[in-house]
Amino acid sequence: MRFISRDKYFVDLDSLLKLIEQRGGYNAIVCLKRSGFIAGAVLSNKLSLPLFAAQELSSIPLKFKHLLIIDDKIHSGKSIQKIKNKLTNKGFLTTTAVIYNQGGRGRADIEVCQLNSITKMWYEV
């Protein structure tokens, strides 16, 4: 089993930030529960964008037209795709971004690292 340390996580999160900044044009961030909160809070602060939790989808104002959906790690991609579909159906433009893709079955629009084995994060220990 692989382990991602806190230091490695934040180095990789900085890499994600750079990829996000290259694309630009986002009006707000939506983070997935638990694991996405850390990345979402950091990115919201660094990009000066409002942050919403996935549980707040019905309260996101339409003025935030282009949303960045954040999670730190995906397996199948079902959770992030479900949120993307809900927001797209409400008329939002969406981009998904993750630090780690574990398993490769699902995909995000922006990814930093592909993991080939089961991985625990520093906050799961």
Q: Between vectors from CA 62 to CA 59 and to CA 68, what angle results, nearest 5°?
A: 85
Q: Provide the domain count of the chain.
A: 1
* pLDDT for position 119: 85
* pLDDT of residue 76 exceeding 90: no
Q: Domain with 46 in it: what CATH number?
A: 3.40.50.2020
**27: containing domain:** 2-124
| Residue-wise DSSP of 11-62 | HHHHHHHHHHHHH----EEEE-TTHHHHHHHHHHHHHT--EEEGGGGGG--T
**Residue 43 burial by Cβ neighbours in a 10 Å radius (0-12, 13-18, 19+):** buried
The pLDDT tens digits of the residues spanning 15-48 come to 999 999 999 999 999 999 888 999 999 999 999 9
Confidence of residue 2 (pLDDT cuts 50, 70, 90): confident
Sheet containing 110-115: which strands, arranged edge to edge?
51-53, 28-31, 66-74, 93-102, 110-115
The pLDDT tens digits of the residues spanning 40-61 come to 999 999 999 999 998 999 999 9
